[in-house]
Amino acid sequence: MARIEVIDIGTVSVRMGISDVTQGRIETFTKKTRVCDLGVGLDETGVLSEAAIERVLDTVRGYLGCFTRNRCDAVVCTLTQSAREAENADALLAPLAALGLKPQVIDGRTEGLIAAYGVSIDPRFAGEQPGAPRPLVADSGGGSTELCVLDDSESWVCSTPVGSRRVSERFLSAGDPASEDDVARALKWCRDTFAEAAATTDLIDPAASVVVCGGASTTLAAVHHELEPYNPAIVHGTVLSKDEIAGMVERFAGMTVAERGEVVGVHPDRAPVVLGSAVVLEGLLEALGKDELVVSEADNLQGIALLADAELAGAPAPIEWRPALTLSE
């Protein structure tokens, strides 16, 4: 058995997952999440702020303490859209390396493949049922949403610039609450961007389910179930209809940011982006002509853990990416 820690630095949150992996199967999994808002202001300025970088580093230092206490065999550190986009990404990468990590900025295609691979640990989402089409997996984050159809013979991935933080800053921050016109413009942009991406492939089966992972979908699932505290076992597999998500858009659009933070299921730190999250997912379903989506708790944290286990074992990797491991002493 290998115990793998994965630190994933995203646009909104920094997450840490610890997985016990045996022969390519995750036996136990625990997760911690902290909203650090690395991507605050990035869409406008093109750079990461010093305050956001320090929030991330402070969180990562704490997660490395978990690595030691839990006697993990290896840790992997990845960064996504904000680090891909920021002109000053080295201002974060260098101190991460100084902490003993080997930070990897993963490109959009790889991010989509890893997320879909993590989602596929649930047989329902692996497309392995007789006659079942491969699902479309959407990894919806703060700075981007990756769309992926994962297949052994041919996979399709498209990384789009649609994310809850970007949508919130670009369209929904002029007023508090946001205006109806701003919400409508945000929804149109999301829908049009996703539709353009989907039009580039014929691998999306009209009968396929849409499986969404990431903080946008899990937060809306928590709101749907009125979860306090958050319960991943209840969130995983939640079905959200387009009408239910549209209802959340309408509900959150009528609230101030402070009021959104008081809604059961919304962590106060996610209040600034929860309306954007709902707009993104409504736009996705409209673009695909789908009536519902399924929420997956499993995502790139599990996908990276499995890839790290394969790397430790010298086994073939199922996708074309190799994690950089920092091994325990």
CA–CA separation, 68 and 206 (whole Å): 47
pLDDT in tens, 18-27: 999 998 899 9
Percent of the chain with pLDDT over 90: 91
pLDDT in tens, 168-213: 999 999 999 999 999 999 999 999 999 999 999 999 999 999 999 9
Q: Which fold, 2-106+300-327?
A: Nucleotidyltransferase; domain 5 (3.30.420)
Q: Which CATH number fits domain 122-295: 2.30.30.140, 2.40.40.20, 3.30.420.150, 3.40.50.300?
A: 3.30.420.150
CA–CA separation, 65 and 40 (whole Å): 26
Same fold, 2-106+300-327 and 122-295: yes
Section 67-71 average pLDDT = 92
pLDDT at 31: 95
Supply the pTM of this predicted model.
0.95
pLDDT in tens, 97-116: 999 999 999 999 999 999 99
Domain ranges of the chain: 2-106+300-327, 122-295
> How confident is residue 127, by pLDDT bands cut at 50, 70 and 90?
low
**Which residues face 212 on adjacent strands?**
138, 295
